[in-house]
């Protein structure tokens, strides 16, 4: 139940370019989806935000897919600092995960964007490159399923006088929710490692809980394909 990066950066600018990672669609991707890579969960846990402002996440995978610009199977190609946002007294660094798309399961990636970069809130030290270098040295292996929302997507409702979406934000995607916006193959079942409550089953239904009920990531991907 966490606020997404897209909503945090909707009123902020400043950013850098990224290496090209064009969308592609390849058949027979299921085999690699079900391989468990122990280091992947540890890598993605770095992007959890347990104290973030709570918002209601999508209640199931279908609702998550409807919210998303695209749901894709992708590998991680790189990680980098994208920009620093916020007022001078509260600057917040943003970290971008550069994806290499393997298959589009639902929706469509933005054709004008040659790079698929998913932004997350970075670490507290805005000028330090060390954390980026450390993450780059331990990039996750294999494939994950990502529910992506383009940051240029207009909000469902907006207040009179609201600021327009900055041009810089339109270069990036965010996950539809930090509580289930991406999934990887875990040791025993599918997990959403960016979710602070990953593995928790109590409470109302959410897309994370729905996704984590699958034993295999290929089964989750198959389910999302049927939603198109």
- Pull the structure tokens for residue 182: 């991406």
Give the model's pLDDT for residue 164. Answer: 82
Give DSSP secondary structure letters for 133-184. HHHHTTPPPS-EEEEEEETTSPPSS--TTPPPPPTGGGG-EEES-TTTSEEE
Q: Which residues of 137-163 are buried (b: 16+ CB within 10 A; e: fewer)?
A: eebbebbbbbbbbbbbbeeeeeeeeee
Contact, 220 vs 226, CB < 8 A? no
If one counts the domains in the chain, the total is: 1
- Pull the structure tokens for residue 127: 């000028």
Beta strands 116-121 and 92-107 are: antiparallel
pLDDT tens for each residue of 71-97: 999 999 999 999 988 888 888 889 999
According to DSSP, the residues that pair with 81 across neighbouring strands are 95
Which residues form the domain of 133? 5-158+165-225
Give the model's pLDDT for residue 199. Answer: 83
Give the model's pLDDT for residue 198. Answer: 84
Count the Cβ atoms, other than its own, within 10 Å of residue 119: 26
How many whole angstroms separate alpha carbon 139 and alpha carbon 43? 7
42: enclosing H helix or E strand: helix 38-45
Contact, 146 vs 211, CB < 8 A? no
The confidence band for 141, taking pLDDT boundaries of 50, 70 and 90, is very high
In percent, how much of the chain has pLDDT > 90? 57
């Amino acid at each position: 139940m966490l606020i997404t990066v897209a909503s945090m950066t909707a009123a902020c600018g400043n950013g850098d370019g990224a290496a090209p990672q064009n969308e592609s669609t390849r058949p027979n991707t299921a085999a690699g989806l079900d391989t468990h890579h122990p280091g992947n969960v540890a890598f993605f846990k770095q992007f959890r935000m347990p104290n973030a402002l709570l918002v209601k996440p999508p209640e199931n995978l279908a609702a998550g897919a409807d919210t998303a610009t695209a749901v894709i199977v992708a590998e991680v190609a790189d990680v980098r600092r994208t920009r620093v946002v916020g007022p001078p007294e509260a600057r917040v660094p943003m970290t971008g995960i550069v994806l290499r798309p393997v298959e589009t399961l639902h929706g469509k990636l933005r054709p004008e964007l040659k790079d698929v970069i998913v932004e997350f809130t970075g670490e507290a030290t805005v000028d330090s490159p060390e954390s980026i270098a450390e993450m780059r040295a331990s990039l996750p292996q294999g494939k994950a399923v990502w529910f992506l929302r383009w940051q240029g997507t207009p909000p469902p409702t907006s207040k009179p006088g609201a600021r327009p979406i900055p041009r810089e934000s339109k270069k990036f995607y965010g996950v539809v929710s930090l509580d289930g916006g991406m999934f990887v193959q875990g040791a025993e079942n599918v997990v959403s490692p960016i979710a602070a409550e990953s593995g928790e089953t109590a409470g109302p239904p959410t897309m994370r809980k729905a996704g984590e009920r699958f034993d295999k990531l290929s089964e989750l991907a198959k389910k999302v394909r049927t939603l198109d």
